[in-house]
Amino acid sequence: MHPRSVRHLTAPPDYNGTLGNKVSTVSNTRSFFNKKPNEYRYGPRVECDADTQRVQLMIKNWSSRWLELPHKQTFALAGPMILANISVPLMGLADTAMLGHLDDAAFVGAVAVGANIFAFMFWMMAFLRMGTTSVVGQALGANNPTTAFDQLAQSAALAFGLAALLIITHPFTLPLAISWVAADPQVAELAAQYASIRIYAAPAVLGTYVLSGWLLGLQKPVYTLIITVAINTINIALDYVFILKFNWGSQGAAAASVCADYLGFVIALFCFYYSAKQIQLFKRAPNWRWLSALRQGNWRKLMGINRDLFIRTAILLFVFNFFTAQGGDLGQTTLAANAILIQLMFLSTYALDGYAHAAETLAANAIGAKNLHKLHNTSIAACSTAGFIAVFMAVVFWFGQPFFIWLMTDIHEVKQAVAQYYIWLCIMPIVAVWCYLFDGIFIGAGKTRALRNWMLAAVLLVFLPSWWLLQPLANHGLWIAFVVFHIARSISLGYEYYRCTVRNSWFATSSNVDAC
């Protein structure tokens, strides 16, 4: 528009809808052109009241702060661990699939019994991985790689000592365990043959636990993924050779697992070497330093963390075994239905545990750096993303019910039982995700005594009383007690997180290092 025609313009309708007078002054013309586009049609902007503005500002601040959280860093750690966790069941599935092609079904039963015993045994030793991640992550967060190496040396010594103890005592412990689990004499004999070979993998398995803890403490989850995938791939290949080609039966399955574990341990050593070079560990810590670490290192802290984690894991295993036993008392159909639902629940657990590992690693690093802001930010990032995944898994379970039931069983009675109790599978990811994440945070922070105490309280004060009171509801009552147990753990650990924050005790340096 030509500038000279500006003074011939008329003002737009005002807020009441009346036509304004012609403007002839430059000031009125400028005020007209300064109006925002929407005001030409709708009149001047109406200001919101103070409460509405406060809410809008709060939402804007929350959204901007959430976007600033370290989501990429959390996912970079959680993604490889999710893939590694998902690959874990492949070893047992490979053994079962290969043996399923043999003539005698006793081989399958023997490997199932032996694999369950060793899964229980090695799971009880998983504190070696978690404890190593905590102490190494804290040392590296404090920019003290030599201390991290000392903690690694102590963890490795403890792992090989426990492995030697398992091998020495296996002539007494394994027959007792097999007699409890296997009732059929033929299955028991084959299971004993399997166990007598599989036990010699203990040094490799426990050593790999320690090295995996070191790699997670260094925030190198890709190396852990490589180790896990390599072990499972080698095991599957050797299963094919030993079982189907050499026809070694259950002994072949055990030999394949042992070879895969030791080859995986060698790969873990190479990963340790490359990760140590990246932080210039060998320049700072001489080769003989591990001897002084064993003599003068802070064994009290490491042993305290591992003791608490061992007790916590034992209590958790008791809950799962108690759940299975009570389901068996309700009949074979109920036992089979619960087993299927638990296996499906583990699918979501594998995914959610990836974020628990990420929270564990980042919490250890933040505690070592004495950075409370980083601890809170990484905790919120892990919890928020894992919460979305838990809801997504619940929705998938809900809408995929026909498919999952069809996939897991063909028995009509078991299908009906699974459908009857399927609602609890959909609920579990949403209520359990929080205790998984708090587990990771407290393990990384070294607050393992709180984990132990609250786990014991949840079992004695919540799970067992709930099961006792809800026995008239049969299996529904058992599942309610199981769900309430996870809710109690989530609430209690959330309270403990709040209490440590209020008391400013995340960085406590007293002798009771893990107390809030």
Most distant pair of Cα atoms in the chain: their distance: 109
Residue 172 backbone class (left: φ over 0; alpha: ψ -120 to 50; beta: rest) = alpha
Res. 509 pLDDT band, cuts 50 70 90? low
For the chain, what is the mean pLDDT? 83
Residue 5 has pLDDT above 60, yes or no: no
Residue 294 has pLDDT above 70, yes or no: no
**Which DSSP symbol is given to 126?**
T
Which two structure tokens, joined as six digits, stand for 104? 């005698």
Lowest-confidence pick of 50-59, 126-135, 195-204, 233-242: 50-59
Res. 70 pLDDT band, cuts 50 70 90? confident
Tell me the mean pLDDT in the region 498-509: 86
Long-range Cβ pairs for the range 452-456 (8 Å, 24+): 452/308, 452/309, 452/311, 452/312, 452/315, 454/489, 454/492, 454/493, 454/496, 455/312, 455/315, 455/316, 455/489, 456/311, 456/315
Res. 8 pLDDT band, cuts 50 70 90? very low
Helix, strand, or coil (residue 410): coil
Which residues are CB-contacts of 77 (< 8 A; sequence separation ≥ 6)? 219, 221, 357, 358, 361, 362
- Nearest Cα neighbor of 224 from 350, 82, 381 is 82
What is the per-residue burial (b if ≥16 Cβ within 10 Å, else e) of 241-279? ebbeeeebbbbbbbbbbbbbbbbbbebbeebbeebbeee
Question: Which position has the higher pLDDT, 287 or 484?
Answer: 484
Residue 25 has pLDDT above 90, yes or no: no
Helix, strand, or coil (residue 22): strand
Residue 22 has pLDDT above 50, yes or no: no
**What is the distance between the alpha carbons of residues 164 and 22, in angstroms, rounded to a whole number?**
99
Res. 168 pLDDT band, cuts 50 70 90? very high
Residue 228 has pLDDT above 60, yes or no: yes
Lowest-confidence pick of 136-145, 260-269, 388-397, 463-472: 136-145
**What is the pLDDT at residue 467?**
95
**What is the distance between the alpha carbons of residues 215 and 436, in angstroms, rounded to a whole number?**
20
**What is the distance between the alpha carbons of residues 411 and 105, in angstroms, rounded to a whole number?**
19
